[in-house]
Amino acid sequence: MAEGLIQLAPAPARSSGRFAPSPTGPLHLGNLRTALIAWCCARSTGSSFAIRIEDLDRARCRAGSAQQQLSDLAAIGLEWDQPVVVQSERTALYADALAQLRSDGLLYECWCTRAEIREASSAPHGAATAYPGTCRELSAEQLAERRATGRNPALRVRAEEARVKFFDRVHREQEGTVDDFVVARQDGAFAYHLAVVVDDADQSIDEVVRGDDLLDSTPAQCWLQERLGLARPSYVHVPLLRDENGIRMSKRDASVTLDGQRQLSVSAEEVRSNLIASIGLCEEGELIGDQELLSRFNSILVESIP
């Protein structure tokens, strides 16, 4: 599991942090490591640390999963400020943000299916593609035709391929193009980008720590923050933990969950130690407490940005 030291640019003065799992199954070791780093980032500056359950995608959520995730986080020694925030209980906030985007003329209805988008951009099957703009400038007649089908549209933003720059404490200067992304889905659910931005601002989160599979999501979120007049947090996208074959861990592989580790006779305390060792902050098998962990964590900050 050795990964080596993650070098972080200096922390902002305040860094109220959070870990925001989707309750779609048990957390795997990679998720637990990201949570541990998020906790270190917040607590090492004496700041608050929140847990937010991101359960808007109802079809992917599993009953009992949120409770299991909280108990696994506690088992590896993490604690957080109460109460735990649950996105499905906060939809009024997302509706307000959507109304603001609508009144600013930034939304349009989109009836395209995934298959149609893939086809229009001739991307290989399954590849993530930029939205080809099919529904962006529909005439009144075309709009009426589509509305008459009775199918619900998704709502997309007019991002006009904006270029957005942001700074990440691991990846440093970043820049990306913002696609016309979906903020409300065809099934009526608020989309991840919208909810995450609204919640981080509402919870006064000023540092977002998460896996670097979400680095590409950040330009869209920065763009939304700007449109909604919300402050931009600082970002820390941490490398994903890979298994011994270099493969990204998956919640579907039971052996890399805390339960699976217990069955392999690895205790939660040993898992914690292994995770800390994987960021280069303890020796294999060494057990360290919170204070020692935080003081070693501070040593991975670098003073100057190369």
Nearer to ligand GLU, 21 or 239 (CB): 21
Q: What are phi and psi of 136, to 5 degrees?
A: -65, -40
Nearer to ligand GLU, 157 or 196 (CB): 196
Site string for ligand GLU, 211-250 (x = CB under 6 A): ---x------------------------------------
Among 42, 44, 51, 54, binds ligand GLU (CB under 6 A): 54
Candidates 19-27, 154-162, 235-243, 276-284: pick the segment binding ligand GLU (CB under 6 A). Answer: 19-27
Among 8, 15, 16, 22, binds ligand GLU (CB under 6 A): 22
Q: Which of 157, 203, 199, 164 is nearest to 181 (CA)?
A: 157
- The answer to whether 21 contacts ligand GLU (rule: CB under 6 A) is yes
Q: Which of 162, 212, 220 is nearest to 191 (CA)?
A: 220
| CA distance linking residue 10 with residue 13, whole number of Å | 9
**Neighbouring C-beta atoms of residue 11, cutoff 10 Å:** 18
Nearer to ligand GLU, 112 or 205 (CB): 205
Candidates 4-12, 17-25, 88-96, 243-251: pick the segment binding ligand GLU (CB under 6 A). Answer: 17-25
Count, residues near ligand GLU per rule CB under 6 A: 7
Taking each helix axis as running N to C, give the angle between helix 91-103 and helix 192-202, from 0 to 180 degrees, rounded to the nearest 10: 110
Nearer to ligand GLU, 135 or 256 (CB): 256
Mark out the alpha helices in the chain (DSSP H runs).
29-43, 65-75, 91-103, 114-120, 140-148, 192-202, 218-228, 258-263, 268-278, 290-298
Query: What count of residues does the chain have?
Result: 306
Nearer to ligand GLU, 250 or 295 (CB): 250
The residues that touch ligand GLU, with contacts defined as CB under 6 A, are: 20-22, 54, 196, 210, 214
